[in-house]
Structure 1
Amino acid sequence: MTKNLAIILLVLLCTKNSYSELYTALAELEGLLHTEHALITTIENYISAQEQKMLLLRKYVEAYMEQYEKASEDVQAYVENPINAYLLVKRLTTDWKLVQNLITRNTGEEFIADFDELKSSLKFPSDEDLNGAAVALTRLQDTYQLDTSSLAKGEINGVKYATELTAADCFELGRQSYTNNDHYHTQLWMMEADERLKREVNQSVERSEILEYLAFSTFKLGDVGLALDLTNKLLELIPTHERARGNKVYYEDEIAKTNSVQPKNISWNRQARMSYEALCRGEISPSDTIAAKLKCRYVNNGNPFLMIAPFKVEEAYLNPHILIFHDVMADDEIATIKALAQPRFQRATVQNFMTGALETAQYRISKSAWLKEIEHKHVADVVQRVEDMTGLTMETAEELQVVNYGIGGHYEPHYDFARKEEANAFKSLGTGNRIATVLFYMSDVAQGGATVFPYLDIALWPKKGAAAFWYNLHSSGDGDKHTRHAACPVLAGSKWVSNKWIHEDGQQFRRPCGLERPPPEYTA
């Protein structure tokens, strides 16, 4: 029975399909629950079939035992009875063949055959998904300064979202970090795994495995003395551990050379990220002087229709002018756009400024799709609304890009416009540079997920139905470097947005060129 169950699980887990990078969009992960349900159902059915098989065998045994006990009272009298003699022979011929067939029947093969018909429609994550999910969790841990122990308890900023992690769960997070040469997080999660293992009745991982990863990562972080101590603990558990014995000699030699067990200076190269991460945590905001000048108002942009239903606009910053339009995408429009986009989701890409080619990058974790106005009235209505909001023509704008962020989904600081060294960017479009950006928020986000501008110290927090707008270019056509922005990692919840990137061509009479170039610090 155990062997058959192992075969079934192996078939399930090794199933190949067309899905990949499921971790890059939370919407894609929803399908994994269907996969998990199929696994549970298959295993439950297998166990049930095995139980029925055992129950039937038990009934045969009980019937045989009853007859055997009767015969044992007086064997000769029993076999002299022609009916008993017949039944004895029958039991050892026809009946025994039935029992033999029942014993030798491979129930597991039946379920493997059934599963073969289902597996083509099921989603299975890959090793890349596991690694991506682990990296995302450690990214959130850093960005939002989350305590390792609290995370292991399923808590995020004091709110319990999930069940607690086992020692094995923490071990796997550490192992994935080790695979990425991230010894800092390897050490954090292996230490947590070791602490949790001490409290587990049914231990989920071997302590020797934890100590091996923990010792080496500690050494890589510069604390040779602690690495030696951990290695000695490993050798207490497994005295014949060859790698540990070799490491012990090496660590002792290193300590003898330096005559010091103090950790080395470790540079994490995080200075450039401090402002960005503080903004993501909501720790930085514009000065009171700047905030006092910001206003909210109703605008109609001279549009007769908007005289009846003007836009509600909030100023987020004045120079560059960043606006938030409230209630500009309805729930039914959002539902339609999400439904159209999800079946064609692809991993979001960035443009290689040397070649102009689109490629994936670890600093952009999301999936996206592009929608045309002709696909649905709701898409066309939203695009027309962008023209009404901005006063710019949509004739040369890019299609509506719909994005769903994955586990810890983010997009590190970047510009929407093409800089001077990016000569090939947007060349194929033939519509000039991206003059402006409209960013629609299509969901609220429980925690995290802000759009931040590190040079301006502002953060825009997702609000379903709202849209942010800013010009990427000065009126001279030069890029405005103050528009450098980022999508903070999603800490809890699912973040859906859509982008409308507006290009220069066709805007000559809608946003006339300026006669003065920006100051040197603005020049891209």
Structure 2
Amino acid sequence: MWTSVVLIIALVAGRVASDKFTALVELENILQQERTLAERLQEYIRVEEQRLDQLRDIAASMQEDNQRMSSDPVAHLGNPVNAFKFVKKLSVEWKEILNTLVLSNHSENFCRDVNDITQHFPSEDEDYPGTVTAMLRLQDTYALNPNDMAKGKLPGVKVPAVMSAHDCFEVGRVSYFEGDYYHAVQWMQLALEHYQDEKEKTISQAEALDYLSYSTYMQGNLYHARNLTEQWLQLEPEHSRAQSNLAHFEQAIKEKEEALAEESRIRVEREAFRNGRFEHDPDAYHATEFFQTYEALCRGEDVIPIKDAHKLTCQYRVWHPMFTINPLREETMNFDPWIAVYHQLMSDKDIDDIKALATPRLARATVVNSVTGELEFAKYRISKSGWLKDEEHPTVAKISNRCSALTNLSLSTVEELQIANYGIGGHYEPHFDYSRLAEVTSFDHWRGNRILTVIFYLSDVEAGGGTVFMTAGTKLRPEKGAAAVWYNLHPDGTGDDETKHAACPVLTGNKWVANKWFHERGQEFTRPCGQSPNS
């Protein structure tokens, strides 16, 4: 028995974090691994059925869940609550199953099989917190009510999913350890509310009060923190930390009341909760009006009027022989900067080809550090991307030629086709596509700066996932087969600050895009340089 115990501990402990939450296609692939795992568990149970009755029930449940989700993986995993529960099940709950049931097994072959399957599972140290962060990003960006989220009431959801008290507790717990006490308070409180309604309790009420009381204290509400701690002590009168916390809170309250009059106390308490989301946020950027505008645009609010919106038009365009039979369907979205959407520009077959080619090479998307010029991961960009060369497949070359005909720009310095798939709450906060003068350039001198962007939407998205422009106020909704186009540089080569844009978090669904970036060099005759931004 000890041989198998040592073996499985070594195998499971050696698993590497894998960024599974950053692309929904990764979770779809893991769904197949879960199916295999369920089948192997069933086989093992048949061998030791008498000893492993409890494990048989777990495996049957996993298999049932997998069959249900496999019937429409995009619909199930596109629901952020389902995706959270899926990651939670495979990163946290499965670990508990290993410790309590599987480690007693002395079948080395089974242990090896389990490790072969679970090494591709989401990681507890990276994927699980990343999934929770994505849930909270969706909550904040789209102003979602946590109670509605827990009930599965989300825009665009095809397959509702309800959260248990333990699900809510876990969101609050991860928030707590991330130092996000604002969300910890919300979700721990929700966990306690669900606890009251549960017939079979899934959490410890005292443990939830422990997290909630201290998070409330960190949010600045000493009085409520004291009351919560007193409730905790009613359940566990001898708990030493609860006793210590209560004494600390009472001393803090005493010192506060000595310094403040009653009227001042009420004012301070109100101030502490006036904007609790940012009261202890180490990143002040998220509290700025600029970032609040970004979130409002993502929600579809018209916070920035579009100039001359009544003059925006739709028209057919034929400026290249390629579009003679099938004219371009152009929709002007903004005049300054010029932004246009071309509908039905890519066929379903081309999209399938591109996604099939790109999926095996998707890797966590990076950003360029503006100081060092080095590529690095960033929380403000959550997706996975891969690059395709024209010579790899006729479809890739066809798309490049279509982009050239569409923009009347040369392919001599164009970048390879970038494919991106967004994960749970996947997003890319406001950014420029071009390299600014103050940055260490990320582009080779022979190529020059990014002059124009073409972004193809390779999927529809049920809710969220739009492209918004921070100054223009333009909002683009993902539409399968459509492409958005805009110039990043003025005619004189300076960057157009009005093109700052963002990819909003994916609320429900699976978002795929393909990007084609044209550069300055090679465009001298098709788009001559001017002496001023407007020349």
TM-score of the pair, normalised by structure 2: 0.81
Deviations 1:21-61 (A, max 9, x none): 00000000112222322333333333333336899xxxxxx
| Partners of 1:263 and 1:32 in 2: CA distance | 47
Could you tell me whether the CA contact under 8 Å between 1:478 and 1:518 is conserved in 2? no
Deviation (angstroms), 1:310: 2.0
Could you tell me whether the CA contact under 8 Å between 1:284 and 1:458 is conserved in 2? no
Deviations 1:315-364 (A, max 9, x none): 01011110111111111111111111111111101101111111110000
Q: Which ranges in structure 1 are unaligned for 5 or more consecutive residues?
A: 56-105, 520-524
Structure 2 counterpart of 1:43, which letter? L
| Partners of 1:136 and 1:54 in 2: CA distance | 36
- Aligned residue for 2:112? 116
Instruction: Name the SS of the counterpart of 1:46 in structure 2.
Output: helix
Deviation (angstroms), 1:278: 1.3
Structure 1 position 25 matched with structure 2 position 23? yes
Deviation (angstroms), 1:393: 0.6
Tell me how large the CA RMSD over aligned residues is: 2.6
| Partners of 1:18 and 1:251 in 2: CA distance | 41
| Partners of 2:49 and 2:533 in 1: CA distance | 81
| Partners of 2:11 and 2:431 in 1: CA distance | 38
- Over 3 Å counting, the alpha-carbon distance change for 1:208 and 1:7 in structure 2 is farther
- Aligned residue for 1:155? 153
| Partners of 1:429 and 1:382 in 2: CA distance | 26
- Over 3 Å counting, the alpha-carbon distance change for 1:289 and 1:451 in structure 2 is closer
- Aligned residue for 2:461? 445
- Over 3 Å counting, the alpha-carbon distance change for 1:480 and 1:128 in structure 2 is same
Greater relative contact order, per chain length (Cα 8 Å cut-off, separation 6+):
2
Structure 1 counterpart of 2:427, which letter? H
Could you tell me whether the CA contact under 8 Å between 1:146 and 1:157 is conserved in 2? no
| Partners of 1:117 and 1:196 in 2: CA distance | 37
- Over 3 Å counting, the alpha-carbon distance change for 1:8 and 1:313 in structure 2 is farther
| Partners of 2:202 and 2:114 in 1: CA distance | 31
Residue 281 of structure 1 is aligned with which of 299, 311, 334?
299
- Aligned residue for 1:187? 185
Could you tell me whether the CA contact under 8 Å between 2:430 and 2:500 is conserved in 1? yes
Residue 310 of structure 1 is aligned with which of 317, 323, 327?
327
Residue 145 of structure 1 is aligned with which of 143, 146, 151?
143
| Partners of 2:534 and 2:111 in 1: CA distance | 65
- Aligned residue for 1:491? 507
Structure 1 position 401 matched with structure 2 position 418? yes
Q: How many residues align?
A: 463
- Over 3 Å counting, the alpha-carbon distance change for 1:136 and 1:295 in structure 2 is same
Structure 1 counterpart of 2:383, which letter? S
Deviation (angstroms), 1:272: 2.4
Which segment drifts farther, 193-202 or 31-40? 31-40
Structure 2 counterpart of 1:254, which letter? A
Could you tell me whether the CA contact under 8 Å between 1:15 and 1:124 is conserved in 2? no
TM-score of the pair, normalised by structure 1: 0.83
Deviations 1:124-182 (A, max 9, x none): 11120000000000000011111111111122038573321111111111111111110
Structure 1 position 272 matched with structure 2 position 269? no
Could you tell me whether the CA contact under 8 Å between 2:36 and 2:117 is conserved in 1? no
Structure 1 position 221 matched with structure 2 position 219? yes
Structure 1 position 245 matched with structure 2 position 262? no
- Over 3 Å counting, the alpha-carbon distance change for 1:165 and 1:313 in structure 2 is same
- Over 3 Å counting, the alpha-carbon distance change for 1:107 and 1:265 in structure 2 is closer
Which segment drifts farther, 282-291 or 366-375? 282-291
- Aligned residue for 1:97? none
- Aligned residue for 1:348? 365
Could you tell me whether the CA contact under 8 Å between 2:469 and 2:500 is conserved in 1? yes
Q: Which ranges in structure 2 are unaligned for 5 or more consecutive residues?
A: 54-102, 258-264, 279-286
- Over 3 Å counting, the alpha-carbon distance change for 1:118 and 1:406 in structure 2 is same
